[in-house]
């Protein structure tokens, strides 16, 4: 994700060559849309791993048809 972010940020000024703040805002808007699903999955996995019954949930997580990390945000 970081390499893609760097490439897209580097290209952003070409879309708004005379308005750097607008270029950065457009880049950030697209980035937040693109990365929000990964952030939700990460937060859900953190919730699963810090729950009182984390060991049992992790066993179930890796079983076919097992539980999935709860969605957050």
Q: Residue-wise over 54-66: b if at least 16 C-beta within 10 A, else e?
A: eeebbeeeeeeee
pLDDT at 70: 62
pLDDT for the residue 37: 87
Is residue 36, in this structure, part of any structural domain at all? yes
Is pTM beyond 0.85? Reply is no
Instruction: Give which of 26, 29, 31, 42 is closest to 6, Cα–Cα.
Output: 31
**Residue 72 falls inside a structural domain:** no
Residue 67 is assigned to a structural domain of this protein:
no
Is the residue at 68 inside a domain?
no
User: How many domains, the chain?
Assistant: 1
Provide the residue count of the chain. Answer: 73
Q: What is the mean pLDDT of each run of 10 residues along the chain (73 residues)?
A: 91 93 95 90 90 92 76 53
Q: In whole angstroms, what is the distance from residue 19 CA to residue 25 CA?
A: 10
Segments forming the whole domain that contains residue 26? 2-61
pLDDT value for 73: 43
């Amino acid at each position: 994700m970081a390499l893609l972010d760097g490439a897209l940020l580097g290209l952003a000024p070409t879309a708004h060559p005379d308005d750097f703040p607008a270029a950065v805002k457009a880049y950030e808007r697209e980035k937040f849309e693109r990365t929000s699903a990964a952030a939700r999955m990460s937060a859900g996995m953190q919730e699963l791993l810090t729950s009182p019954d984390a060991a049992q949930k992790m066993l179930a997580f890796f079983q076919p048809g097992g539980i999935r990390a709860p969605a957050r945000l």
